[in-house]
Amino acid sequence: MPGTDLLMLKAFEPYFEILEAYSTKAKNYVNGHCTKYEPWQLIAWSVLWTLLVVWAYEFIFQPESLWSRFKKKLFKLIRKMPYFGGKIQGNLDKIKGDISKSLQFLKVDQEYVKVLPAQGLSSSAVLEKLKEYSSLDVVWQEGKASGAVYSGEEKLTELLVQAYGNFAWSNPLHPDIFPGLRKIEAEVVRMTCSLFNGGPDACGCMTSGGTESILMACKAYRDLALEKGIRTPEIVAPVSAHAAFNKAASYFGMKIVHVPLNKKMEVDVSAMRRAISRNTAMLVCSAPQFPHGVVDPIPEVAKLAVKYRIPLHVDACLGGFLIVFMEKAGYPLDKPFDFRVKGVTSISADTHKYGYAPKGSSVLLYSDHKYRRYQFFVTTDWPGGIYASPSIAGSRPGGIIAACWATLMHFGENGYVEATKQIIRTARFLKSELENIRGIVVLGDPQLSVIALGSHDFDIYRLSNMMAAKGWNLNQLQFPPSIHICITLVHTRKRVAIQFLKDVRESVTQIMKNSKAKATGMGAIYGMAQATIDRSMVAELSSVFLDSLYSTDTVIQENQMNGSPKPR
């Protein structure tokens, strides 16, 4: 009412007068202080202070935090100091040598080929050479490898080889030359959209794997954020989210904000809400996450996405082709995870894992075309013509796409439901048995195919070493120290799960005889890496592994892991 408003204004009049008096005093003080300066000096000081403030802002607010950059600078300075630097470098060189010596894949009996043969080899000679190379592989057929090979069934392999051969020379970069391949790729995307309950506007693309799918989603949301005026787009993701999100942040100039987990190893939704800022470009959930096999609370995070109008990506790269069939397999999940959840805007799922397609295929899906267009790259002014590509690669292997389609069509819904039933049944059996082994704990409540183990009683990496001695190849994890096994169709074969439990029980019994002992070899290196404050040193040590992938030098092997197998 007008009368009420007038009374309220009159009530505030004394305060307005006090404010005016103070502002007049401040203005007079500033003006009086400035009389000693000439106009050009005032202008110069204003410009200088403005530039200083802008510099300070840009220095403090960068994708990498100020504290992180300070630590890096400090450790770099310490390593340059004469005494300390030499001592640190000496220890680093020793550890690098230990890593190189403990890498079993560097042990080869044959000489490396370092130059092209002067005369080309016949087909039979080439195939014979390839047999020699494949004989170096670990015998994964026994079911002792975690993940890695998700089927390996002979008849499927024959089908994939034939499908690849039929499209070996094709390239989706040229749809006018290979229209059949274009149709195949479109059908793979549409079938996957249907599996994840995408609506009529849902769309997507194929990529070379989970990492590229994640990179493309991040690139799309970065470009969307830039269009909105966000200068440094942020990815808000659980600490358990795949490292590909870190890679995306590094590649695309984004900042990753990590959110802690709760006791169930799920992302802490309250902490995620607090991590959201005006710079947030996307939220991330996993279904499941790689380390512990736990599915994040997607519906709760989706509510945040809707409230703050932020895209939400669900990373189902690992278990995507399990979760979509679990209900029909008799193992329904507690909560929805796909496009039925309002707020989920994209999903990545690897066809080359539980889709059983050959390596090099994954699918990235969007709830709407409006998101996918930000993923595309187009340059209009190249002399070679208008260049446009949907993902990172230009040319892509048509044979992989054809083999992926062939796998989907060969398995069909019934085949995938049956495979899912076998895997989840095996995983649930292993989980229930492992929980009853004294000395180890199952981390979180895994509902799919990954089971992570830790221990409060001994160094868990000793169990990894002991299992390696028995031929098992498990994944070593950190923060907290743990190991995991990823169950595939290979593990559902006769007595594989029973043998795994037998070997775990025997190993734990042996370890508990001296529970305070520490792991050696790669287990010790993992333990040391977690305790190292200077993470740049850990990165430097990791580069030894990456460099070794391309080594053609002979390495002398040493057996230095407690319980590790002798080189063969």
pLDDT tens, position by position, 113-166: 999 999 999 999 999 999 988 888 878 889 999 999 999 999 999 999 999 999
Which H/E stretch holds residue 181? helix 179-195
pLDDT higher at 544 or 557: 544
What pLDDT is stored for residue 372 in this prediction?
Answer: 97
Per-residue model confidence (pLDDT) at position 526:
65
C-alpha–C-alpha distance, residues 16 and 342, integer Å: 49
First to last CA, the chain: 91
Residues 15-25 have pLDDT tens digits of: 777 888 888 88
Whether residue 342 contacts residue 384, with contact meaning beta carbons closer than 8 Å, is answered with no
Structure confidence at residue 35 (pLDDT) = 80
CA distance 244 to 290: 11
Kindly state the tokens that stand for 297: 């609370």
In this structure, which amino acid lies at residue 11? A
Four-CA torsion 511, 513, 519, 521, nearest 10 degrees: -80
Phi-psi region of 98 (alpha: psi -120 to 50; beta: other; left: phi over 0): alpha
Tell me what pLDDT residue 98 has.
Answer: 72
Which residue reads 């430097």 in tokens? Answer: 540
pLDDT of 554 > 80? The answer is: no
Query: Which pair of structure tokens corresponds to residue 325?
Result: 């069939």
Q: Which residues, including other chains, have CB under 8 Å from residue 99's CB and lie 6 or more apart?
A: 522, 525, 541, 544, 545
Tens digit of each residue's pLDDT (9 = 90 or more) over 227-263: 999 999 999 999 999 999 999 999 999 999 999 999 9
What single DSSP character describes residue 113?
Answer: P
Q: Evaluate if residue 61 carries a pLDDT over 80.
A: no
Tokens 């004394």: give the residue.
14
Mean pLDDT, rounded, of the chain:
90
Provide the percentage of residues in the chain whose pLDDT is more than 90. 68
How confident is the model over 349-382, as pLDDT tens digits? 999 999 999 999 999 999 999 999 999 999 999 9
CA distance 312 to 250: 20
- φ, ψ of residue 363 to 5 degrees: the values are -130, 135
Question: 174-232: per-residue pLDDT in tens?
Answer: 999 999 999 999 999 999 999 999 999 999 999 999 999 999 999 999 999 999 999 99
**Which of 557, 563, 542 has its CA nearest to residue 472?**
563
CA 437 to each of CA 14, 231, 291: distance values in angstroms, whole numbers, following the listed order: 76, 52, 21
Check residue 568 and give its pLDDT: 37
pTM for the predicted model, two decimal places: 0.85
Cα angle value 547/352/418 (rounded, 5°): 140
